[in-house]
A and B are shown apart, each in its own frame.
Chain A
Amino acid sequence: MNDRDSPVSEDELHAYVDGELPADRREAVAAWLAEHPEQAALVAAWRAQAESIRARFDSVADEPVPERLKLDNLLRSTRAIRRSWTSVAAAAALVAFLAGGTAGWMARGATAASPTGFETFTAEALDAYKLYVVEVRHPVEVPGSDRAHMTQWLSKRLGYEQNIPDLKSLGLTLVGGRLLPGPTGAAAFYMYEAPSGERYTIYCAKARVPETSLRYKDGERYSAFYWVDDKVAYVVSGPAEREKLEAVSKAIYDQLDKGDTKKS
């Protein structure tokens, strides 16, 4: 029996469409299909599927690579996060500049639905911010005056030593904190308040997301800085006023950095 007469299996038809057949067999299958219109139609349908998939997505590979995905920038920002706030902030500024053109603060369900670990985490943090920041009577579970108890309680629930930053130098008083469900377990939520009434929050939890470049998200009404350090993810949220939020985030980052020994 020569190739031309041997029966063609469905596997072979797929291999034929995907260019996985050796040349001689390819010819045999082509000849066989000429005499089997039903299978030929199937093959045509599979090819059409592949064509529409390529027509839909191929152009993505021709787009310029966004700055945040360039290796130099990734290397710089992953290293920077360990080094100092200054270089981290530089990386963040870059990200913010680029993010401005795209979706901005992609709040709403769509973000919460689609994310990688980090997206989930920041979506949760923003949800918490929006929910509690407007709360007048019960914004927190434990008041800031009870700091020692809160530290002990949340350290126990989150499974690592809490270091609650003191932001008095920026005129921010600790309103208090609460325990929240995070994407992968318990999360701590701390709220600070300025004399003018603006509120800033820190949302943090152990995270399984890789230690990654710091990102800044910019929205119409709220913004956030977020980073992962030593298996703990932090999201600092506040009113959409970049300089202030950056100053607050810097102060928090510095204090947590000093308290680093406790965590490891």
Chain B
Amino acid sequence: MATFRQDVEATIPALRRYARALTRNADTADDLVQDTLVRALRSEHLFHGGDVRSWLYTILTNLNRNRLRSLARRPSLSSLDDNDAPDLAGPEAGGRDIERALATLVEDQRNALLLVVLEGLTYREVAEVQAVPIGTVMSRLARARVQIKSYLDGERPALRRVK
């Protein structure tokens, strides 16, 4: 049991990073991490070995999905506005571009991309987190990269109109 908690504790910095990239807001991200940890601690007895890290990523990814769904039910704010919210981390211009590009991705594609390039999970691990075959992970990754490239190559005017 002590090992379980040590493993959880050791993963917190990475969870915060993943959550920050998913939400692009420091407080929302930490709330997400907190809810993830509370849930993990409560489900400790359900954990029978395996990779704690992947399990935590799975919980966080699912909680974020719920969060986005409940946001979608709120009519007042678009995701673009969300992205315009001030970020405490004070991004430089380059960081801002990649944040906006990430915001244009479909959720599953964004999750897959971040888990691979930011969190360093293998395709197999991402497949477990997302509960899909590896082929699906790869096509999500491919589509995410196409979308980000075309966004950064200058399709921003089209997105402006959505707003």
Binding site for B on A (CB under 8 A): 10-11, 14-15, 18, 20, 45-46, 49-50, 52-63, 65-66, 68-71, 74-75, 78, 102-103, 106, 109-120, 183-184, 209-213
Contact = CB atoms under 8 A, between A and B. Distances in A.
Interface residues of B, number: 62
A53 B5 contact: no
B38, B39, B116, most chain A CB atoms within 10 A: B38
Nearest to A49: B148
Given A61-B14, A106-B27, A117 B66 contact: yes
5 contacts: A15-B138, A49-B145, A71-B37, A116-B32, A211-B42
Contacts of A50: 117
B20 A57 contact: yes
Contact of A18 (B23, B31, B101, B116): B116
B67 A58 contact: no
Contact of A54 (B30, B38, B77, B118): B118
Contacts of B142: 10-11, 14
B97 interface: yes
Contacts of A116: 28, 31-32, 35, 63, 67
Contacts of B70: 117, 120, 183-184
Nearest to A99: B27
Contacts of B123: 15, 18, 20
B8 to A, nearest CB: 6
Contacts, number: 161
Interface in B9-43: 9, 12-14, 16-17, 20-21, 23, 25-28, 30-35, 37-39, 41-42
A66 B25 CA distance: 15
B77 A109 contact: yes
Contact of A71 (B5, B81, B89, B122): B5
A58 B98 CA distance: 13
User: Secondary structure at chain A's binding surface: helix, strand, loop or mixed?
Assistant: helix
Interface string B47-87: 00000000000000001001100110010110001100110
A246 B89 CA distance: 32
Contacts of B66: 117
Contact of A102 (B27, B32, B116): B27
B99 interface: yes
B8 A71 contact: yes
A210 B118 contact: no
Contact of B34 (A45, A63, A68): A68
A45 B149 contact: yes
A69 B33 contact: yes
B96 to A, nearest CB: 9
Nearest to B9: A71
A210 B76 contact: no
Contact of A110 (B32, B85, B98, B114): B85
B8, B67, B142, B145, most chain A CB atoms within 10 A: B145
A52 B98 contact: yes
Nearest to B117: A50
